[in-house]
Structure 1
Amino acid sequence: MSCTKASSPTPPIKSSKVQMMNWLSKTPITHRGFHNNEFPENSLGAFEYAIKNDYAIEFDIRLTKDKKIVVFHDLDTSRVTRTNLLVKNSTLSELEKIKLEESTYTIPSLVDVLKLVNGRVPLLIEIKNEGGVGDLEEELIRILDNYKGQFAIQSFNPLSLKYISDKRENFSIGLLVGSFKKSKISFLKKFLLKNMLLTPILRPDFFSVEYGVDIWSQQTMLKIFSSKQIIYWTIRNESVANDLLTSGKGVIFEGFNIK
């Protein structure tokens, strides 16, 4: 399994982005790394295991109290560690000491993840930002400006994506959409996001869509922007994953090995 590389000449920004995004629909993407009982989600072990299997890697990022970026999904640490700390109220050094799921792996920083991957496989970076836009996005841009590998950025937060695309036109951004059943955001925010009403303003490069969700407004918006690539998440069935890849759609998957 191989990843598509960008062409060497310097084409206009739009053409370059299309070429650089080919991997989104060609390379299976591991959900929070290729994790299992040995390698916890969003751990360096899960990321190295994904690399060994030639998979792209999806992972989540959050901002710490001291304005650093950690790779972690939840608001707090209780689900996957023996501690109960809010990420936003904890420093990077505090979080880096916490063991993940009874393993020897600890919560990694974004810098450490990028050092480990070092361009060997593409990365799909999900921004987790439920607060004000600016600090996390600026730190992410600063770090990624020095990274040479392939990457794309996705988020449920269109304001976060808009901030980044305004600063870096060459960064590929994708809007995450789904049912929002488990979301605790306000009714108005949920209505705007669930129906993708900010899409014409954001004009993302791709969509990352919850598999199996059939919402009329979402399907309509996806048809309007049908030229954009689509990734489906989170696929937990191998035959479904293979069918989607064969049809030219990207997949974020977990729980099996795609053959």
Structure 2
Amino acid sequence: MDLGYSVEFDVRLTKDERIVVFHDKSLKRVCNKNKIIEFTKYSDLKKFNLFNTNEKIPLLKDIIKLKNRKTFMFIEIKEKKRSFLYLLRKIINHKNKIFLISKNNIIKYVKFNKKGYIFGEEKLLNIIKLKKEIRKINPDFLIVHKSKIIKIKKIFKNQYPLIIWTVKNQKELKKYELFYDFVIFEDLLNQRFSKTSNLFINYKNIIN
């Protein structure tokens, strides 16, 4: 965020109903602990370090405090229970430039912030059923895995802004440039990435 880039991260609910920023369901990969987030209290999670650092699993409310006025936050909801949205709303209700995303149907019930539906690498539904489902969700934009970006573009044309994920090099950026409006990327900061600023400006114009 210090460099002016927007960020995307996942959130999960602890046993004592605290919303934490964490990608995995369990702590095994990151903390080398055989514990599941939803069955662990936050007071216990704070005891564990992330990989080989002194960093801890953060609360969503603390991460949001780091946001500046220029950047966007995309928060992926991993939970499936609608009750989770009540807790989430208390933290981010109508905050500017914070968008909620998910591949779960929970996203259709989000009314308090702009939202996006995620297409992963999974097989797509037939086109008629797919369009029907997306209409029910009524997203403000779509986030699409690079393996599906061309097909989704053909199906929805310019109906929704499309965000491609996850681009990892200049070659991929060029390959799909006709099909996306914005990019979620990894490991591009050290590469010559001349289109970044234009993509960011275009995206702001579409979403705001």
Same fold (TM over 0.5): yes
Where 1:117 maps in the other structure, the secondary structure is coil
1:39-81 per-residue CA deviation (whole Å, 9 max, x = no partner) reads xxxxxxxxxxxx1221100000011111110000111011111
Aligned residue in 2 for 1:155: 102
Identity over the aligned pairs, expressed in percent?
Answer: 30
Q: CA deviation at 1:237?
A: 1.0
Q: 1:105 to 1:229 in 2, by over 3 A?
A: same
The match for 1:235 is 167
Equivalent AA in structure 1 for residue 89 of structure 2? I
- Report what 2:2 is aligned to: 52
CA apart distance, 1:221:
3.9
Give distance in 2, aligned partners of 1:175 and 1:236: 21
Alignment of 1:201 with 2:151, yes or no, is: no
Match in the other structure for 2:120: 178
SS in 2 for 1:162: helix
Higher mean alpha-carbon deviation, 245-254 vs 65-74, is at 245-254
Task: Work out the number of aligned pairs and report it.
Answer: 188
Conserved 8 A contact 1:62-1:136? no
Measure the CA separation in 1 of the matches of 2:5 and 2:141: 19
2:147 counterpart SS class? coil
Indicate which of 195, 212, 222 corresponds to 2:147.
212
| Alpha-carbon contact 1:235-1:254 (below 8 Å) kept | yes
Which aligned runs of 4 or more in structure 1 are off by greater than 6 angstroms? none
C-alpha offsets along residues 175-225 of structure 1, whole Å, 9 cap, x if unaligned? 0012227xxxxxxxx859xx7351121121100000023786x455423xx
Who is 2:202 aligned against?
none
SS at match of 2:66: helix
Structure 1: gaps (5+ residues)? 1-50, 182-189
Counterparts of 1:126 and 1:75, CA distance in 2 = 13
**1:115 aligns to 2:61 (yes or no):** no
Counterpart check, 1:76 vs 2:16: no
Q: From 77, 83, 93, give the equivalent of 1:135.
A: 83
Compare relative contact order (CA 8 Å, sep 6+) and give the higher one, 1 or 2: 1
What's the offset of the Cα at 1:246?
8.0
TM-score in terms of structure 1 length: 0.65
SS at match of 1:152: strand
Tell me the distance in 2 between the aligned counterparts of 1:97 and 1:146: 32
**1:61 is matched with which residue?**
11
Give unpaired runs (5+ residues) of structure 2.
Answer: 195-208
Q: Residue type of the partner of 1:178?
A: G
**Structure 1 pair 213–81 and aligned structure 2 pair: CA distance change class (3 A):** same
